Amino acid sequence: MSMAWSQLFSPNFIPTSSAIPAKRLVTHHPCVPCRCIRYYNGKREFPLPEVASIPYQPIDMEGEFSGHGVTFEGIGDSCVAKMGLENGSTATLMLPSGLITSYKAPMWHGGSVELLHTSVFEEENGDAVIRGGVSVALNCCGDGEQVSWSPTNWALLNISGNAQESIQVELINSDSENMVEVKYIVSLQEDILSSEIVVSNSKFSPLQLKGSIVSHLTVSSPDATYAVGLQGSNFVNRPPFLSSFGIVPPDLGQKNEFGFGQLWDQKALKGLLSGWSPRNQNTADAAEGIQRDSEDEVEGEEDGNYMHLTEQLSRIYTSAPRHFTVIDRGRRSSVVIGRDGFDELYMLSPGSSHEYYGTYSYICVGQSALLKPIILGPQEEWRGWQHLHNPNL
């Protein structure tokens, strides 16, 4: 065991693609008939009329979906779905927001460790709101159209699997007016938590997708955290991506700790917010005073394979491996992050000036299409995945 741990925390440790199993679970609700589908370059074409017109019946959570390893609990206007496997892996999903607030992974020593970071914030009206975890921030816009739509209120469509092997929860959100349907599939396996987005465009015109699957990974402190496997990856320094459930420290970017002379202005920050759910005014006010020419973006390339995340950073990698590892020496744990379908990787570190194990003890990663949108042709379907793999068993 000591040899395995010494290799894991060695600067020469490089995660391999074999750490992520190729198997993916895909299920269909019984009311949706199977159809003949043609695939082209990873996207698929399907018959037009059925996508936006499928009726979704109310679901009996305690009847139809009992016995799958999922329990439900009502909290105010929300519902919490708790997924649990017999090996000790658990995940908590909130409805209708679709926010994953917890992923507890079993460890080699027999216990379990929380891998996601969440915090409770107070909004202007006094309401408490949970931020962090894993969330979907997606914007769908028709080609050349100003009107956009973002899936925010998810409905439960299907649950499959069992507590012995894996559990899959399928959510759905659709915009019948713009003929767009989005499915969000959360899969819990013994050592993996996967988030999958499936977007169906039933229009006769192209659809533009921008956004990210945003994950907040809990760490003891960014000062003890390293990203392994990004050597040679090209990146662009950009302002933080402020999604509805994102956590951004008030002082991020206000100090010249990013390796370039110009800082960020409020205009640049609002540019990334366009099309997504608005954040409360406290977050917007936190960015006031940051000054930067929005056209001055610093590009670079990671020159090392063992990247220390102690300093503040916010960047988008335009070419990065499909899998890399985040290691936290303080908690003696690691997470292998994988992606499919997305070409970009977003990363944010709040820096190490904050309290250990506190509100800003996290690293944010996002499988993204922020700089270059994904173009989905008429009657096509696109899929994108994020995998959080626990190698600590």
pLDDT at 297: 66
Check whether 169 has a pLDDT greater than 70: yes
pLDDT at 25: 31
Contact call for residues 115 and 325 (beta carbons, < 8 A): no
| b (16+ CB within 10 A) / e for 221-235 | bbbbbbbbbbeebeb
* 63 pLDDT tier (thresholds 50, 70, 90): low
Contact call for residues 110 and 103 (beta carbons, < 8 A): no
Q: State the chain's maximal CA–CA distance in angstroms.
A: 60
pLDDT at 62: 58
- Separation CA 223–CA 230 (nearest Å): 18
**Overall average pLDDT of the 130-144 stretch:** 89
Higher pLDDT, 351 or 29: 351
pLDDT tens digits, one per residue of 196-208: 999 999 988 899 9
pLDDT at 273: 38
- Separation CA 329–CA 9 (nearest Å): 8
Domains of the chain, CATH where assigned:
61-247+297-389 (2.70.98.10)
Higher pLDDT, 267 or 391: 391
Higher pLDDT, 338 or 296: 338
Q: CB neighbours (10 Å) of residue 356?
A: 13
- Separation CA 105–CA 334 (nearest Å): 11
Strand, coil or helix: what is 282? Answer: helix
Higher pLDDT, 379 or 52: 379
Strand (E) or helix (H) holding 129:
strand 128-132
Work out whether strand 78-84 and strand 90-95 pair parallel, antiparallel, or are unpaired. Answer: antiparallel
pLDDT at 146: 58
- Separation CA 8–CA 332 (nearest Å): 10
Among residues of the chain, what percentage have pLDDT more than 90? 54
Check whether 20 has a pLDDT greater than 50: no
Strand, coil or helix: what is 382? Answer: strand
| Chain center to CA of 23 | 20
pLDDT tens digits, one per residue of 208-234: 999 999 999 999 999 999 999 999 999
Higher pLDDT, 6 or 317: 317
Work out whether strand 380-389 and strand 192-201 pair parallel, antiparallel, or are unpaired. Answer: antiparallel
pLDDT tens digits, one per residue of 335-354: 999 999 999 999 999 998 88
- Separation CA 246–CA 264 (nearest Å): 18
